[in-house]
Amino acid sequence: MGIPGRGLAKGLAVTLRTMTRKSVTAQYPDVQPDLPPRTRGVIGLFEENCTVCMLCARECPDWCIYIDSHKETVPPAAPGGRERSRNVLDRFAIDFALCMYCGICIEVCPFDALFWSPEFEYAETDIRELTHERDRLREWMWTVPEPPALDPAAEDPKELAAARKAADKLAAQQAAEAEAAARPEPAQDARQDTKEEGT
Ligand code: SF4
Ligand code: SF4
């Protein structure tokens, strides 16, 4: 059996401790909060990178990404080639009334078209206004913070290594072509000399 009044004493001790603690009330909106750089405020769309692959809409657990598109025929890249078709974005919208800010859409986008912005001041009195269409999602892109600097000790990304290799190969090929163009053509001169001696 416990000591009578122990619970009461414990409760009063907590009250006293809390009363003497410094207040940590955030003075928002008079003072803007100092948010961490990776805050999940709102999602920005960089639509130039979007290929309408639909991966984000399919993976979204809340089904709150709406995408409409149509197909367009593009002329062949080389003469004699086949015509190609590509998706053209008609609508891209996110319903932030349904979104649970899980970040799956941003993680799965293979083309870096979606980004987190720390902006959070977009409360509405009409819930329908929380569906942000592509123009508004595009505007959020200007509030996306720069990515952190790369770790100097990190390995180069695969893409960078491949691009460097291709550039080195091209430079070597161009140097070899320039060298070949600058070299005199001895075989032709010799043939010319032989011909003149014979006549
Ligand atoms: S953050 Fe999650 S819930 Fe919100 S749109 Fe992206 S995938 Fe859907
Ligand atoms: S996953 Fe990325 S590229 Fe694909 S539709 Fe979504 S935003 Fe566009």
Q: Tell me if residue 77 falls in helix, strand or coil.
A: coil
Beta strand extents in the chain (DSSP E only): 42-45, 65-74, 84-95, 114-117, 131-132
Residues 6 or more apart whose CB falls under 8 angstroms from that of 65 comprise 56, 57, 92, 93, 94, 105
Backbone φ, ψ for residue 137 (5° rounding) = -65, -35
Which ligand has its closest atom nearest to the C-alpha of 63? 1
Binding residues for [4Fe-4S] cluster: 50, 53, 56, 60, 99, 102, 105, 109
Quick: pLDDT tens for 120-170.
Answer: 999 999 999 999 999 999 999 999 999 888 888 888 888 888 999 999 999
Q: For residues 168 and 162, give the distance between their C-alpha atoms in angstroms, rounded to a whole number.
A: 10
pTM (two decimals): 0.70
Which is more confident, 181 or 103? 103
What is the Cα–Cα distance from 153 to 133, expressed in whole angstroms?
A: 41
**What integer pLDDT is reported at residue 41 of this predicted model?**
96
Q: What pLDDT does 199 receive?
A: 47
Annotated binding site, which residues? 50, 53, 56, 60, 99, 102, 105, 109
Q: Whose CA is nearest to atom 1 of ligand 2?
A: 109
The whole-number pLDDT of residue 61 equals 97
Taking domain 29-143, whether its CATH number is 3.40.50.300 is answered by no
